Amino acid sequence: MKATVHRMVGVARRRDSWLQPWLPQIIRHASGQPVLELGCGWGDDTAVLTAAGLTVTGLDLSADLLAQARRRVPQATFVQQDLCDPWPLERAGVILASLSLHYFRREQTRVLIDRAAGVLGPDGLLVCRLNSSRDVCYGALGRLMGHRRIEPGLYRVHGSPKRFVSAADLEDLFSGWRVLHRRHRVSLRFGLPKALWEVVLQPPVGR
């Protein structure tokens, strides 16, 4: 089954400046290499990255969202694809995955994270946000909200697979990665409070 990276469309979007504090570190680790953005959606984060002078390749499955992103950020490169398909870049200095790696079965998620480690160089950086297991406004209560369980932590929410991640899940999924930052926070970008994990990591030593 091909997993669909689904972004909420038609809901109130509020300014979310979460990426700004990480720009100096992203610029330093990119070091002239491109930034690969997984699940770029309508280009909110792409616009921030390109405004900072970075070269960005954004991937997303939705043709409609990519059309918006291309109009908004014409200087970036956009590719329509499933994230499980081969990525167009063999090497990137930074990978950004904001709310895009939690739509897959656990083994698929492991494959994507391992692929990210291979694409990043030894000094590469993964900047990532994931649904929290406390994201009750957006489906974290699972069966209590009538959502069908696909596997532990993964539910079908409004037609799309959606994983909700605990602290233990983070440690398991990113085992061996060097954790530079891990924070549980709440975003109001989509209107209702959204609980999520914000993590910044480097690949395991020796990759």
Return mean pLDDT, the chain.
91
Dihedral angle computed from the Cα positions of residues 112, 115, 117 and 120, in that order, rounded to the nearest 10 degrees = -120
Comparing CA positions, the residue from 112, 95, 126, 119 lying closest to residue 163 is 112
Using the 8-state DSSP alphabet, how is residue 165 labeled? B
Per-residue pLDDT at 197 = 98
List, in order of start, the domains of the chain with CATH numbers.
Answer: 20-132+163-202 (3.40.50.150)
pTM above 0.85, yes or no: yes
- pLDDT one-digit tens code per residue, 17-53: 899 999 999 999 999 999 999 999 999 999 999 999 9
Of residues 179, 176, 149, the one with CA closest to residue 163: 149
Closest CA relative to residue 101, chosen from 116, 119, 79:
116
**Cα–Cα distance, 135 to 141 (Å, whole number):** 8
Please give the share of the chain, as a percent, with pLDDT higher than 70: 92
Q: How far apart are CA 86 and CA 88, in angstroms?
A: 7
Instruction: Give Rg (Cα) of the chain.
Output: 16
Q: Residue type at 29? A: H
Residue 174 and residue 167 in contact, taking contact as beta carbons nearer than 8 Å: no
* Comparison of pLDDT for 146 and 22, the residue scoring more: 22
Angle 44-51/63-72 helices, nearest 10 degrees?
30
**Dihedral (Cα; 105, 149, 167, 122), 10-degree rounding:** 10
